């Protein structure tokens, strides 16, 4: 049988994350939500995707606690989709994807937009990973450790 393999219960946090936000449309929905989009039609217009697909994704994002539905801010009888704390926490992932894309997924000079610091309008630095005591870490300086205690 060709049931699609689900990573929901994977032990690896990366696999879990991918199962919740590893879909292209979902990620772009979160991106637009971070940029202020709130309404169904707003997402549809910006993303240009079919309404049934959008409906499916929004339902999943709400079910996973990344978006919530609340009464529309403009006082109408409709609903707004707004990011929860969990949804806002996707920000570093978004920035990492953006920086990788800027550097590696465009021809030189092709990319026409950058993430900048609002105060100075200067491009932000590359994301940096640091140890508990503040040293800058790269891939080789890290490893995955299992907390094998039975807790």
Partner DNA sequence: GCGAATGGTTTCATAATGCAACCACTAGGC
Partner DNA sequence: GCCTAGTGGTTGCATTATGAAACCATTCGC
The number of residues that bind DNA (CB under 7 A) is 24
11 binds, among DNA, its own copies, none (CB under 5 to 8 A by kind): its own copies
- CA atoms of 25 and 45, how far apart (whole Å): 13
DSSP state of 123: B
Instruction: Please choose, from the candidates 100, 93, 88, the residue with its C-alpha nearest in 3D space to the C-alpha of residue 14.
Output: 93
100 binds, among DNA, its own copies, none (CB under 5 to 8 A by kind): its own copies
- CA atoms of 26 and 33, how far apart (whole Å): 10
In the region spanning residues 22 to 81, those forming contacts with DNA, defined by CB under 7 A, are 23, 25, 39-42, 49-53, 55-56, 58, 72, 76-79
73 binds, among its own copies, DNA, none (CB under 5 to 8 A by kind): none
- CA atoms of 129 and 140, how far apart (whole Å): 12
Q: Minimum distance between the CB of residue 104 and DNA, rounded to whole angstroms?
A: 21
Query: Tokens standing for 29?
Result: 């929905």
With beta carbons less than 8 A apart as the criterion, state whether 21 and 31 touch. Answer: no
In the region spanning residues 74 to 113, those forming contacts with DNA, defined by CB under 7 A, are 76-79
41 binds, among DNA, its own copies, none (CB under 5 to 8 A by kind): DNA
Q: Residue 59 or residue 78: which is nearer to its own copies going by CB? A: 59
With beta carbons less than 8 A apart as the criterion, state whether 137 and 130 touch. Answer: yes
Q: Minimum distance between the CB of residue 120 and its own copies, rounded to whole angstroms?
A: 7
With beta carbons less than 8 A apart as the criterion, state whether 4 and 53 touch. Answer: no
Interface with DNA by CB under 7 A: which residues?
1-5, 23, 25, 39-42, 49-53, 55-56, 58, 72, 76-79
């Amino acid at each position: 049988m060709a049931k699609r393999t689900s990573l929901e219960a994977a032990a690896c946090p990366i696999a879990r994350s991918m199962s919740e936000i590893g879909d292209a449309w979902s990620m772009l929905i979160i991106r637009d939500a971070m940029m202020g989009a709130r309404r169904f039609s707003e997402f549809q217009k910006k993303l240009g995707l079919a309404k049934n697909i959008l409906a499916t994704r929004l339902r999943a994002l709400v079910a996973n606690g990344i978006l919530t539905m609340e009464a529309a801010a403009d006082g109408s009888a409709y609903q707004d989709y707004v990011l929860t704390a969990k949804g806002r926490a996707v920000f570093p992932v978004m920035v990492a994807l953006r920086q990788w894309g800027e550097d590696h997924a465009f021809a030189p000079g092709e990319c026409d937009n950058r993430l900048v610091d609002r105060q100075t309008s200067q491009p932000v630095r590359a994301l940096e990973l640091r140890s508990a005591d503040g040293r800058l870490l790269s891939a080789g300086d890290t490893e995955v450790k299992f907390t094998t205690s039975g807790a």
